[in-house]
Chain A
Amino acid sequence: MKILIKSGRVIDPANKIDGIMDLLVEDNKISKIARNIKPEADKIIAAENKMVLPGLVDMHVHLREPGREDKETVCSGTQAALRGGVTSLLAMPNTTPAVDSVGHLKILQEAIKKGSRANVFICAAITQDRCGQEINDLTSLKKEGVVAISDDGASVDSDAVMLKAFQRAKEEKLLVICHSEDKELSRQGVVNLGFTSTRLGLRGISAESEYKRVTRDITLAKETGARVHIAHVSCQESVEIISRAKKGGVKVTCETAPHYFAFNEAAVLGYDTNFKMNPPLRSKEDMLAIRKALGDGTIDVIASDHAPHTENEKDIEFERAECGVVGLETELAASITELVGNNLFSWEGLVRAMSLNPSRILGISKGTLSAGADADIIVVDPDKAWVVRKEDFLSKSQNSPFLGRSLKGYVEYTFCQGKVHKWNS
């Protein structure tokens, strides 16, 4: 089976490709990128004025299976991923049960085998039940295929336990992904601490609760030489700390999510729980700092932190509502609209942040259009505007902060290991 994607703008930073070219897929692999490939294929996709990019790699996704299949399943989550142009994703371990043992890992792997439509990589928990006490059997977990560890949703509070975890991770050559939050400082906060929390009469979460823990996590990584990745960076101070550490040679990378560069705390003023997440939407200055850090490469990765929740858990009093938003189906368009559209990012920068960088950080052979690679490709109409509507989501949950907004950039085709999905609005 041969598929030819004709005359699109092919962007593949790994191979320094950016130009109008043809791309040939043969037997589910990328076989050739060149100008004017002879149109002898079973199927030809006309891609004039379209972008042809490596499939996105989202390294922060909550698939909710096992345990909360009412919110999302491997099947629905990976379908949503494909719809959003994401062909590979990292599943976070805060499921029920948590991915903290080989036994629990097998449950998830079984579910993936049965239901997955995309490439799912697995992040295991650092500690048992993500309680921050007993470190899991990282050797066995690594052997069974996990590519990173994280207690995401929680931070390991004990410095001693975290130090040990970093040492073990270093030995196992595992990436440590840190949800950096000092709960003593963030207390039971629900919005950014400051005028917004005062105005709304809600408990605030200080930026300090994030950046102090970022500092600790980076310090431990430095001491142990382990690789650390800071998840969902939301504030200016964190960006500055990470930037300094990078310059000082620490093996640290980090990510942010579209909501942190698309919105700021002002969005919460109507108590809309689709803007409730942890860390919270910060100040306008923080939002601008995040954008800048994406532009200058301090922030390596854009990940969705896709966190599906049912309406029952979201459409309630703000303080009681769950934290988090869905993002798989909007992250590319949001990034195109906010970053490329505002000239903060080139298309190449976008592909790096959403595909190449996360692949390299996770050490997976994704994120490129090299000949011989799996045919994970997306064809994107960069100018097509669409309105985010609840009824169009493939995810089981629709808790999106972008609802009702018009975004630019539409995924027309997603190739995942050569299998083609065509999307219509």
Chain B
Amino acid sequence: MNWARKDLLGLEELSKEELGLILATAESFKEVSTREIKKVPALRGKTVVNLFYEPSTRTRVSFEVAAKRLSADVINIATETSSVKKGETLIDTGRNIEALKADIIVMRHNFSGAAVMLSRHVSLSVVNAGDGWHEHPTQALLDIFTLKEKLGRIEGLNVSIVGDIAHSRVARSNIWGLTKLGARVTVCAPKLLIPPAIEEMGVNVTQDIDEALKNADAVNVLRMQFERDGETAFPKQLEYFKEFGITMERLKKAKKDIIVMHPGPINRGIEMSSAVADGAHSVILEQVTNGIAVRMAVLFLVAQANEKIKNENTD
């Protein structure tokens, strides 16, 4: 199959085949980062703009490294330094970036649906680097890529996602991606952090961490954000750790080689103990490495598709 989308906005809209294509492409790109010269000219002359309305070091750096390994030029725009503060609308900002003849906007935004909206108003490619509570497709893709690399498959795996599901774009993208590829997904969180009707996304729900770990091949642990405007059900961090934190004791009761993932940055002693984070189950740093390959694949595929769309329009 061929990739035909100029944008990557979320995993909900992707088919199983499209997900497979990104993962397979990422596999090829992983080799590039192992070379002495970690660079290919695939996106030479292309400009990637990282447009970040929310502070994020990891995702932005990962995209920047990915773009640079493809020989693209990278421009970073953060809200603090841009005209966004002066009240420019998102569409105006997008059109301005388009007028600079950039080719791809990688956007992080605090409002759900922002990437979808932007993509409707610009002809350049839009890659969603996280929008509100909606989706964070490349994070989920790198999680899935890492799982597949470790376990050889996705189909039939039991994957548990633990933490603030209600406010997590990482959870949503993982759920869409994993279920499409045939994994069984369980979400585990305090009741108030489970969004309504989440079962309709095809997942099991539990509030018992041991239950969530019991048959899991992998557990994806979300970052808890206690600072969020009084919405978190667990005011006390230690209390959360006691009830939901991943510890070695808990893992002893799980499958012997259960994989522990975390999108980072980790709150040690809140979501998981240091022993778990640094232990043999953890693939957290491999996730970071794989993030580059996945993002290279995504940037390459959307750029290629958009080039084709533009050529067809001028024909």
Contact = CB atoms under 8 A, between A and B. Distances in A.
A231 B111 CA distance: 30
A318 B112 contact: yes
A320 interface: yes
Contacts of A320: 111
A312 B89 CA distance: 9
Interface size class of A (residues with CB under 8 A): 10 to 19
A270 B117 CA distance: 9
Contact of A197 (B114, B116, B135, B196): B196
Interface in A283-325: 312, 315-320
Contact of B114 (A198, A204, A312, A317): A317
Interface string A180-219: 0000000000000111011111101000000000000000
A271 interface: yes
A201 B164 CA distance: 13
Given A312-B89, A316-B90, A200 B198 contact: no
B298 to A, nearest CB: 20
Given A312-B89, A317-B117, A202 B112 contact: yes
B133 interface: yes
Interface string B106-119: 00010111101100
B112 A198 contact: no
A319 B111 contact: yes
B309 interface: no
B113 A271 contact: yes
B197 A195 contact: yes
A388 to B, nearest CB: 19
A201 B196 contact: no
Contacts of B131: 201
Given A195-B196, A195-B200, A201 B135 contact: yes
Contacts of A194: 196-197
Interface residues of B, number: 24
A258 B190 CA distance: 39
A201 B134 contact: yes
Nearest to A193: B196
A199 B133 CA distance: 9
Contact of A270 (B111, B116, B132, B169): B116
Nearest to B166: A198
A201 B113 CA distance: 8
Determine chain B's interface SS by DSSP, over half rule. mixed
B91 A271 contact: no
A270 B196 CA distance: 19
B196 A202 contact: no
B195 interface: yes
B169 A201 contact: yes
Contacts of B180: none
A378 B113 CA distance: 42
Contacts of A193: 196
B116 A271 contact: yes
A193 B135 CA distance: 18
B16 to A, nearest CB: 19
B94 to A, nearest CB: 12
A199 B12 contact: yes
A356 B44 CA distance: 69
B172 interface: yes
A210 B111 CA distance: 25
B196 A271 contact: no
Nearest to A268: B113
A271 B119 CA distance: 12
Contacts of B89: 312, 315-316
A319 B112 contact: yes
Given A316-B89, A317-B109, A271 B117 contact: yes
A198 B195 contact: yes
A201 B143 CA distance: 20
Nearest to B167: A201
Contacts of B116: 270-271
Interface string B54-92: 000000000000000000000000000000000001110
Contacts of A198: 195-198, 200-201
Contact of B113 (A195, A312, A318): A318
A86 B196 CA distance: 40
Contacts of A197: 195-196
A201 B172 contact: yes
Nearest to A319: B111
Interface in B85-143: 89-91, 109, 111-114, 116-117, 131-135
A43 to B, nearest CB: 48
Contacts of B113: 200-202, 271, 317-319
A316 B111 CA distance: 10
A200 B134 CA distance: 5
B121 to A, nearest CB: 8
A10 B114 CA distance: 50
A320 B84 CA distance: 15
Contacts of A315: 89, 91
A270 B169 CA distance: 17
13 contacts: A195-B201, A198-B197, A199-B12, A199-B172, A199-B201, A201-B113, A201-B132, A202-B113, A202-B134, A270-B116, A271-B112, A316-B89, A316-B90
* A-B residue pairs, 5 tightest by C-beta: A201-B133, A201-B134, A271-B113, A195-B197, A201-B112
